[in-house]
Structure 1
Amino acid sequence: SGPLVAPLGSSVVLPCSVDELLSVEGLEVEWRKTGSETLVHLYQDGESRAEAQQQDYHNRAHFFTEEIQHKNFSLRLDDLRAEDEGLYKCTVYSQQESGETVVQIKVDNVERLLVSGSSRSISASVGEDVTLNCSVDSHIPPEDFEEVSWKKIDEDIQVLLYQNNEAHSSNERYIDRVELFTAEIPKGNFSLRLKSIRTEDKGVYMCEVFAGGLSANATVVLEQLGFSASHIMVLILCISASGSALLLCCLIYCRSPTKGMCITGKYSYQP
């Protein structure tokens, strides 16, 4: 009497039944999506004809063959997708008679696209690499992701853009320093790897995902940056080397025959 409302990724049963028992001989049942007239499932000659159905419904549309004896021709549709929304027609052919019914599916869009980042601020040292987390908790297949955008929102800078299965950065500051984990994208993981951290990288980053006409985002904070242990060691060595060089110059200067005697301790006079 009304539409069947179900969330993405769930299973839904499309009801279809008759009021009298039908002979299996010559019985044919068609399930089609109206508008496109896509064949969702076909029961013919005593069995389901999987080879005749649209590819998108392979292993997702299940006909209850054992329920025919109970006048039930319902269909179960698994792994519900956004594009499954619409009207479905069940047509039953029995010898010289036929009948049909229409069922509507509505996809529940509430919280179907959830994006999460990191609950804590991330600290890193200058020169190190860091991963900014971004994952999508949904049942949307990878091919349905329209766009994923990483921005540094405190400066309104585009860090990286993922479109048409490709990721790139147009900002000179981040070229060759940012990348996604390609193997993780099919799992809904769009975390960003930021290489060779600089002091100016400190700030708030936002991962925004666009899919199925919806969008959602999450933010990650990159905290105060310090110097890594290796950088500190190099700095100490530089200071030590500078000090040694300065001392050596002083010694050379003092021992020069053209200069006066260097005096340490008590005062002395050189005529």
Structure 2
Amino acid sequence: MKLLMMIVLLLLGSQHALGVEVYEGEESVLLPCQVPADVSSSSTSAVWDRDELKKSTVHLRLKSSDDLNDQNSHYHGRTSMRVDALQTGDLSLTLRKPTVSDSGTYTCTALKDGQAQRQPGVVHLKVTEPPPVWPIVLLAVLVPLIIPAAAFVLCVCCASKRMKDRQVPQSEVVEVGQQESVLLSFQTTANLPRDVTVQWTRSDSNTMVHVYESGKDQPGKQDPGYRGRTKMNEDPLRTRDLSLTLKDTLLTDRGVYTCTVKKDGHMLLQKSVALKVKESLPDIVEVTEGEESVLLPFKTTPDLPQDVTVEWTGPKHMKVHVYERGNNQPDKQDQGYRGRTEMKKDPLSTKDLSLTLKDPLVTDSGVYTCTIYSKDGDKLLQKSVTVRVTVPHTEVVGLTQEKESVDLPFKTTAVLPQDVTVEWTDPKHRKVHVYESGKDQPDKQDPGYRGRTEMKDKDPLRTGDLSLTLKYPNVIDSAVYTCTVYNKGGDKLLQKSVTLIVRTPWMAIVEVTQREESVQLRFQIPPDLLQDVTVEWKHLDSNKMVHVYASGKYQPDKQDQDYRGRTEMKEDPLRTGDVSLTLKDPHFTDSGVYTCTVYNKDGKKLLEDSAILRVRVTLMDTMAEMLPHPRPHKHRRAQSDLGHRNRNHEDVPLMGVQSA
């Protein structure tokens, strides 16, 4: 009967928590969930979960269809969502033929690539048995008798309200995180006899949480799951503080706790406290692809039974690692993680459930969740860790043009399937080299590289050495080369870039007269190489520091006193790649070999080249030095000197020197 169906939506302490109540036997019940349309349209899926179940998925909706492969069997054929749910933002779930066993907490989450877009919506469903029909008929008969009786009861209630020692306080709601302590407060003004019994129980399961009797705690009378985790204040009857402290909170501690004070079996006082245990916020760990491993931390404080199951899951609900019955269970984990995960020895005793993930790949990025289940499948603890795997910085290789070949290094410790594709490309996206189906594929590479490349190792997938040998390197080969490893489905597994610098084998020479205003020492490097490098110019003959550019600016305090105020580099040299140096007022003592060196942030030498500067002294300079009057100003130098300048005008691709 529709008149007997109750659907009540109540706010339960959170703007996202709703309560839905329905009778068993109804055709269906709607669990409401609404998100903004812009959130749902950018999501890739929406999932309904029931946290207290070991297999928690109730319904999973993708953009165009449902994905019920991982659905809990209890809900097979009984759930549905709107076909346009992710387009409209209406993620409500219809549950058909609700039963009492469907009662519980359901969460609705919009996901993008496996990660929650916002806080999940929470719905508390309560399914109760319908009342019998005969009380309705009886009610019509007894109404004339009920009204006088109700008036009498009202009088009694008013009188009992004045009896403070028998007043029942209002229930309250407290919220706490996992593995924390929480106080379930209950303070009274009543004068209590010394022979009363104080009992804290779980109303939803009728579990005995704590007993205080005969002036002391009674641990033998409480449920084993709470032993060692509860505490009341000393002498609570004297202080009138009957509050209970619950330590090391678990997800299964969620529920309504009721404190009852009894004497000779009669209730004197009672109060209820609703406890909510929140799931912890995810940690974030970052690792660079190519590193040996990454640690997903999870340390616990509660004493866990030895018969629990520890389950790490990853993106797309894949099982990453399972620890059960005191042993790892490799046959229960996803194939892509076998041989790559490890937990510490005896994790339940040490309370360290952290997971080590070896050979992290870019595709391993995502949210990883560790869940601890009791032997009955109840969820005890849960923690999430967000893993971000980044591509390493570009490695730089430099050589002179006379070399026969150069290796572009790329070694990995990852175990690669034999059906992957290894592809080296240049900045113009031309295929430099392709290794596929266990051999090189010269017909797939750009004609400009044919006959000039080969994999350094004959069996690169077995050894993990994906380095490429480039033969007959030329100055025009200077560029950034990228190696990408794809699986057979086309997904990117690994990637690394190498910057190749090919220099001319000779050293540039310049001659300039002492009366010149300035001279420029040229050095060109790849633009946008790295922003955290240091550029140093040195005079090798005197070992003096001529100029230093670091942390994005000129560092005058690091150069030799003789060169202060006399050197200059162009603006933003790392972006343009022009790290040439201008030396003002050159003197014959400035002659010698100048070297420019580029270091990375760890002090490793990336690039280096040199030039010879010769500063000639003219007859006019000699005479000027002998005269008593000051040396003529640079801007008034004789025109005859300009005709005698001897400068090197060679066009050197990477390094040269010219007068300004």
Same fold (TM over 0.5): yes
Structure 2 Cα separation of the partners of residues 96 and 145 of structure 1: 41
Q: 1:226 aligns with which of 377, 399, 410?
A: 410
* Structure 2 residue identity aligned to 1:161: V
| Structure 2 counterparts to residues 71-86 of structure 1, below 5 A | 71-86=240-255
Identify unmatched segments of 5+ residues in structure 2.
1-169, 372-378, 395-408, 413-455, 457-660
Do the aligned partners of 2:201 and 2:208 also contact (CA within 8 Å) in 1?
yes
Asked if 1:189 is matched to 2:351, the reply is: no
Do the aligned partners of 1:33 and 1:87 also contact (CA within 8 Å) in 2?
yes
* Structure 1 residue identity aligned to 2:389: V
| Structure 2 counterparts to residues 24-39 of structure 1, below 5 A | 24=194, 26-39=195-208
1:41 Cα offset (Å): 0.5
Do the aligned partners of 1:114 and 1:137 also contact (CA within 8 Å) in 2?
no
Q: 1:6 aligns with which of 161, 167, 176?
A: 176
Structure 2 Cα separation of the partners of residues 103 and 12 of structure 1: 11
Q: 1:217 aligns with which of 369, 381, 386?
A: 386
* Structure 2 residue identity aligned to 1:192: L
Deviation larger for 79-88 or 162-171: 162-171
Q: Does the C-alpha gap of structure 1 residues 222 and 183 become closer, same or farther in structure 2, counting only changes over 3 Å?
A: farther
Do the aligned partners of 2:299 and 2:352 also contact (CA within 8 Å) in 1?
no
- Structure 2 match to 1:147: 311
Structure 2 Cα separation of the partners of residues 108 and 16 of structure 1: 22
1:184 Cα offset (Å): 7.8
Asked if 1:21 is matched to 2:191, the reply is: yes
Structure 2 Cα separation of the partners of residues 227 and 164 of structure 1: 32
Structure 1 Cα separation of the partners of residues 226 and 260 of structure 2: 18
1:215 Cα offset (Å): 5.3
Q: 1:179 aligns with which of 313, 317, 341?
A: 341
TM-score (norm 1): 0.62
Structure 2 Cα separation of the partners of residues 96 and 49 of structure 1: 17
- Structure 1 match to 2:572: none
Do the aligned partners of 2:178 and 2:250 also contact (CA within 8 Å) in 1?
yes
| Structure 2 counterparts to residues 1-271 of structure 1, below 5 A | 1=170, 2-24=172-194, 26-95=195-264, 97-98=266-267, 99-109=269-279, 112-118=280-286, 120-123=287-290, 130-136=292-298, 147-149=311-313, 161-165=320-324, 166-168=328-330, 171=335, 177-183=339-345, 185=347, 186-194=351-359, 203-206=362-365, 208-211=368-371, 216-221=385-390, 223=392, 226-227=410-411
RMSD of Structure 2 on Structure 1 (CA): 3.5
Structure 2 Cα separation of the partners of residues 47 and 139 of structure 1: 26
- Structure 2 match to 1:258: none
Identify unmatched segments of 5+ residues in structure 1.
125-129, 195-200, 233-271
Deviation larger for 62-71 or 51-60: 62-71
1:89 Cα offset (Å): 0.8
1:32 Cα offset (Å): 0.4
Structure 2 Cα separation of the partners of residues 74 and 105 of structure 1: 14
Give the share of equivalent positions with the same residue, in percent.
17
The 3-state SS of whatever aligns with 1:183 is coil
Structure 1 Cα separation of the partners of residues 289 and 346 of structure 2: 21
Do the aligned partners of 1:114 and 1:138 also contact (CA within 8 Å) in 2?
no
1:96 Cα offset (Å): 6.7
CA deviations on 1:157-203 (whole Å, 9 max, x unpaired) are x7x721353342554x875x423133285423111234xxxxxx864
1:48 Cα offset (Å): 0.7
Structure 2 Cα separation of the partners of residues 18 and 114 of structure 1: 40
Do the aligned partners of 1:60 and 1:77 also contact (CA within 8 Å) in 2?
yes
Structure 2 Cα separation of the partners of residues 90 and 18 of structure 1: 12
The 3-state SS of whatever aligns with 1:65 is coil
The 3-state SS of whatever aligns with 2:364 is strand
Structure 1 Cα separation of the partners of residues 245 and 361 of structure 2: 51
* Structure 2 residue identity aligned to 1:226: F
- Structure 2 match to 1:266: none
Do the aligned partners of 1:134 and 1:191 also contact (CA within 8 Å) in 2?
yes
1:218 Cα offset (Å): 1.5
1:7 Cα offset (Å): 1.8
1:90 Cα offset (Å): 0.6
Structure 2 Cα separation of the partners of residues 10 and 33 of structure 1: 19
Do the aligned partners of 2:310 and 2:322 also contact (CA within 8 Å) in 1?
yes
1:97 Cα offset (Å): 4.3
* Structure 1 residue identity aligned to 2:237: I
Do the aligned partners of 1:30 and 1:39 also contact (CA within 8 Å) in 2?
yes
* Structure 1 residue identity aligned to 2:288: S
Q: Does the C-alpha gap of structure 1 residues 5 and 38 become closer, same or farther in structure 2, counting only changes over 3 Å?
A: same
Q: Does the C-alpha gap of structure 1 residues 19 and 96 become closer, same or farther in structure 2, counting only changes over 3 Å?
A: farther
CA deviations on 1:41-76 (whole Å, 9 max, x unpaired) are 011122110111111111111012323202221111
* Structure 1 residue identity aligned to 2:224: Q
Structure 2 Cα separation of the partners of residues 190 and 218 of structure 1: 12
The 3-state SS of whatever aligns with 1:191 is strand
Deviation larger for 91-100 or 62-71: 91-100
CA deviations on 1:99-156 (whole Å, 9 max, x unpaired) are 21111111233xx0424332x41445xxxxx2133224777887877632467xxxx9
Structure 1 Cα separation of the partners of residues 229 and 298 of structure 2: 23
The 3-state SS of whatever aligns with 2:259 is strand
The 3-state SS of whatever aligns with 2:256 is strand
* Structure 2 residue identity aligned to 1:134: L
Do the aligned partners of 1:114 and 1:136 also contact (CA within 8 Å) in 2?
no
Structure 1 Cα separation of the partners of residues 261 and 218 of structure 2: 15
* Structure 1 residue identity aligned to 2:352: K
Q: Does the C-alpha gap of structure 1 residues 28 and 183 become closer, same or farther in structure 2, counting only changes over 3 Å?
A: same
* Structure 1 residue identity aligned to 2:284: S
Structure 1 Cα separation of the partners of residues 346 and 357 of structure 2: 11
1:33 Cα offset (Å): 0.5
TM-score (norm 2): 0.28
* Structure 2 residue identity aligned to 1:121: T
